[in-house]
Chain A
Amino acid sequence: MATSRVWEKLEALDARIIYLILWIVILLPFIYPIGLPVSIGPQALAYAKAIDELPAGSIVVVSFDFSFGGLGELYPIAVATLHHLFTRPVKVVIIAIWVDGPPIADMVLKELKPEQPPYNKKYGVDWIFLGYTPGGETAMAALGKDFWSTLPTDYYYKKSVSEYPIMQGLRSAKDVALLVSFETGTPGADEWVRQWYVPYKVPMIVGCIGVMAPTIAPYLAGGQIKGALPGLRAAAEYELIIGRKGLGVASADVLSTSHIVFVLFVIIGNIAYFMRRRSK
């Protein structure tokens, strides 16, 4: 009887104790780092390969399709991806389908400073930032057909895109060698595949929050998406591949502690559940 009470109590543990433990295991590794190695998976390798194999001079469209809620996972992915792109001799056109995209892209660009060494990329020639288009899937279709009239001005200077040399080679999705999209949900991969892959066969890679990972699996297997970074773990792997350690690698230890504690909670919860049932 008494033991069953213990299990019952353990099962009905005050949630605030769980919250407190989670706070502690996420704060501690930042103060006392463990530095566990991160093994690299095939998805991150495929993602990096898609960028490495771009021929010189090709145009890459990078779309920020996420809300602030996705910053935790997608910020490190975006920084690492743009770093990788800026170190390669390709032209980078940055856009956003989600309204939160431009200020986030701005944060990323402020951190990287593409005009300065080691990149030395010239704005308007090697890269450009065009800003946001409302309308979701409709906007993707419009961009695919005609960049110039869907995004007539750039984000920073509000000048006509026709004045920039980089835009002379980009009229429609047919001119795009690779689409990179950072996503938290809808509109996202489904819509890009429908509006860019199906009609124009634009190769695409995706950095997405973990929640989305299962739903893009069919596109990865079917070849519509060439590579993906699903979530923070993959971000850490990718940072190691390109040799620029950032927030992804910095989060590796916390990722371990938080996930292991999560699993422990599930195990304890199950033990309590079964013990209570047995002692009844």
Chain B
Amino acid sequence: MSVALFGILLGVFFTLAVYTFLYKENPYSRFAEYVFIGAATGYGIAYDLDWLKGQWVGVWSKTIGDSIAFVLALLLSVLWYFRFSKKYFFLYRIPLAITVGTSIGLALRGVVFAQVLEQVRATAALKVVGVDAWTAFNNFVTMLIVVCTLAYFTFTLKQEAAFWKPVNKFARYAMMIGFGAAYGYTVLTRMAVFIGRVQFLLGIPPNPVEAKMFFPWVALILLGTLLGYDYYKKTKK
């Protein structure tokens, strides 16, 4: 068997090994789980090292000042490891502080516009006059839902006035209808991922066509051993 063919066999095996979990937890699915965790971590390390090398060659090795800064960054990044030390735990906080500080600073300046003001502006710009009736209705509903939902999520007012009850009810109903959309699209994604795997097993291009050859045999062996073992245990009892 060629190496490429063996690779496809591996792919079919690991795909089906995962799905044996649907029958029940078993050595195949456990093996697949552990291989996955190991491979994913090793893969991430390889990518980071590659990126680091690119940074060194491409940017930081050009001047002495930059080289020193790069080495300093590397030394700081080793401090992450001290998270596991009881005695030197505090060292781990330094790289953490640098990365958290920078990312919070970046997020802070962007959030104000993208998530708050741009969204407030888009809602404030909704017109009900000078547009057709359907648009006006939609704009009004949108505005109402945004305002009521925002009000629903305020926590520091005593909500004693009579209008709070309908506002909160309306917001909750609107949210449930909105969450329905999230539900529907989640179903789509979950199905789509599995459909992708079935396409692989059936060798539908651009997946390698040879997978089709292995699929029934591997499925038979995995299911056969699992069911067979259970049957054997049952009869033994």
A45 within 8 A of B: no
Interface 1/0s, chain B 185-208, versus A by CB < 8 A? 111110111111111001010100
In the bound complex, do residue B185 and residue A138 qualify as a contact, i.e. CB atoms below 8 Å apart?
Answer: no
Task: Pick the interface stretch among A4-12, A54-62, A120-128, A229-237.
Answer: A229-237
B:35-50 near A, CB below 8 Å: 43-44, 47-48, 50
Of all chain A residues, the one with the shortest Cβ separation from B117 is A198
Interface residues in A205-258 (C-beta closer than 8 Å to B): 209-214, 217-218, 221-224, 230-233, 247, 250-251, 254-255, 258
Pick the residue among B51, B111, B119, B206 that contacts A134 (CB under 8 A).
B51
Q: Which residue of A lies closest to B121 (CB)?
A: A222
Within 8 A of B (CB), among A155-211: 158, 160-161, 190-191, 193-195, 197-199, 209-211
Q: Does B2 contact A (CB under 8 A)?
A: no
- Within 8 Å by CB of B181, from A193, A213, A224, lies A213
Cβ-defined contact, B196 with A72, below 8 A: yes
A72 to B197, Cβ gap below 8 A? yes
Are the C-beta atoms of A214 and B202 separated by less than 8 Å? no
Chain A residue, CB-CB nearest to B120: A222
A133 and B189 CA atoms in complex are apart in Å by 26
Q: Shortest beta-carbon distance, B184 to chain A, in Å?
A: 8
Within B147-169, the residues touching A (CB, 8 Å) are none
B85 interface contact, C-beta 8 A: no
Count, chain B residues at interface, CB 8 A: 49
Cα distance, A138 to B115, chains bound together (Å): 17
Which of chain A's residues have a CB closer than 8 A to the CB of B181?
A: 213-214, 217
Q: Quick one: which of B107, B113, B193, B198 contacts A69, CB cutoff 8 A? A: B193
Given A99-B44, A210-B185, A247-B199, the answer on whether A153 and B57 have CB atoms closer than 8 Å is yes
Minimum Cβ distance to chain A for residue B156 (Å) = 25
Report if B23 contacts A (CB, 8 A).
yes
Q: Give the secondary structure class of A's interface.
A: helix
CA distance A191 to B103 in the complex (A): 11
Taken together as a complex, chains A and B put the C-alpha atoms of A152 and B186 apart, in Å, by 38
- Are B193 and A71 neighbours in the complex by a CB distance under 8 Å? yes
When the two chains form their complex, are residues A231 and B106 in contact, meaning their CB atoms are under 8 A apart? no
Determine whether the beta carbon of B198 is less than 8 Å from that of A27: yes
Structural contact, A198 and B110, CB atoms closer than 8 A:
yes
Q: Please name all residues of chain A whose beta carbon is closer than 8 Å to the beta carbon of B103 when the two chains form the complex.
A: 136-138
Query: Which residues of chain B come closer than 8 Å to A30, judged between CB atoms?
Result: 198-199, 202, 204
B3 is an interface residue with CB less than 8 A from chain A = no
The verdict on B7 contacting chain A, using a C-beta distance below 8 Å, is: no
User: Which A residues lie at the B interface, using CB under 8 A?
Assistant: 16, 19, 22, 26-27, 30, 69-73, 75, 79, 99, 102, 107, 111, 131-134, 136-138, 141, 149, 151-153, 158, 160-161, 190-191, 193-195, 197-199, 209-214, 217-218, 221-224, 230-233, 247, 250-251, 254-255, 258-259, 262
Contacts A/B (CB < 8 Å), 5 sampled: A73-B189, A137-B103, A222-B118, A232-B192, A250-B204
